[in-house]
């Protein structure tokens, strides 16, 4: 792969493991639910949340676990706690190595990440990314119509970095939205496939997939 002046990353499951974020949020919610069921250990409630998530996805985890525990609580309160918690997460080792390498080489670094603003910025702060990257865009700040694959965050990033599209590469994990616009605009694209993640088994048509497929970010260190 050729050298680029700007390296722009996705966040979830690219730089850190999003499942760790989910488990971290569930732990805070489990502590809240334990106040209503003093006869059950927090760790047991935490495991119930994780088991329900693994079984049926995230959509109604809190509803189902509260029903089974016999807890009558406003679910939106639990969602608020989950979204507002200080996450216990860390960068993947290969992400640390690549970021350090790119900064040593004087490359410009950016992040474009979709999602709720409160959640995504909490992740950014927990990972201490603001000190490492030149510019970070949480598309939740721009409005849902500007989430990837919208061109808006890519154009905003390029303008801020003072680079051309063909000077930059976008690195992400989700072919549903990470690469199609980046490629149309002339950016290089790289897909990271990890052992854990919601999109690791997804395979789409050529226009949605990245130019390069890698299994560790250290493959980009040359």
pLDDT 10s digits, 9-54: 999 999 999 999 999 999 999 999 999 999 999 999 999 999 999 9
pLDDT value, residue 19? 96
Look over the chain and give the mean of its residue pLDDT values, rounded to a whole number. 96
Kindly report, residue by residue over 127-179, the tens digit of the pLDDT. Answer: 999 999 999 999 999 999 999 999 999 999 999 999 999 999 999 999 999 99
What predicted TM-score, i.e. pTM, was given to this entire model?
Answer: 0.93
Nearest to 211 by CA among 154, 156, 182: 182
pLDDT above 90: residue 58: no
The whole-angstrom separation of Cα 121 and Cα 201 is 27
In this structure, are residues 37 and 71 in contact, taking their beta carbons and an 8 Å threshold?
A: yes
Residue 198 has pLDDT above 90, yes or no: no
Q: Of 18, 176, 193, 15, whose CA–CA distance to 94 is shortest? A: 15
Question: What is the model's pLDDT at position 201?
Answer: 84
Cα–Cα distances (Å) from 26 to 5, 17, 37, 213, in that order, read 39, 15, 16, 32
Beta-bridged to residue 169, according to DSSP, are 7, 188
Q: In percent, how much of the chain has pLDDT > 90?
A: 91
Distances in whole angstroms, Cα of residue 175 to Cα of each of 8, 64, 72: 15, 31, 40
Query: What is the predicted pLDDT for the residue at 133?
Result: 98
Q: Does the pLDDT of residue 205 top 90, yes or no?
A: no
């Amino acid at each position: 792969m050729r050298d680029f002046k700007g390296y722009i990353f996705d966040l979830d499951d690219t730089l850190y493991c999003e499942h760790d974020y989910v488990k971290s949020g569930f732990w805070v919610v489990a502590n809240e639910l334990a106040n209503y069921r003093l006869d059950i250990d927090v760790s047991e409630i935490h495991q119930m949340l994780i088991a329900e998530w693994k079984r049926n996805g995230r959509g109604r985890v809190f509803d189902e676990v509260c029903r089974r525990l016999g807890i009558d609580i406003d679910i939106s309160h639990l969602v608020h706690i989950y979204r507002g918690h200080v996450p216990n997460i860390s960068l993947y080792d290969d992400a640390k190595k690549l970021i350090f390498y790119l900064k040593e080489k004087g490359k410009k670094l950016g992040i474009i990440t979709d999602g709720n603003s409160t959640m995504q910025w909490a992740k950014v702060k927990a990972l201490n990314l603001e000190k490492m990257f030149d510019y970070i865009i949480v598309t939740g700040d721009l409005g849902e119509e500007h989430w990837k694959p919208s061109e808006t965050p890519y154009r905003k990033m390029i303008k801020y970095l003072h680079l051309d599209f063909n000077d930059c590469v976008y690195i992400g994990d989700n072919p549903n939205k990470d690469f199609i616009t980046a490629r149309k605009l002339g950016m290089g694209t790289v897909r990271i496939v990890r052992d854990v993640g919601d999109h690791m088994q997804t395979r789409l048509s050529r226009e949605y997939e990245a130019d390069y497929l890698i299994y560790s970010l250290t493959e980009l260190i040359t």
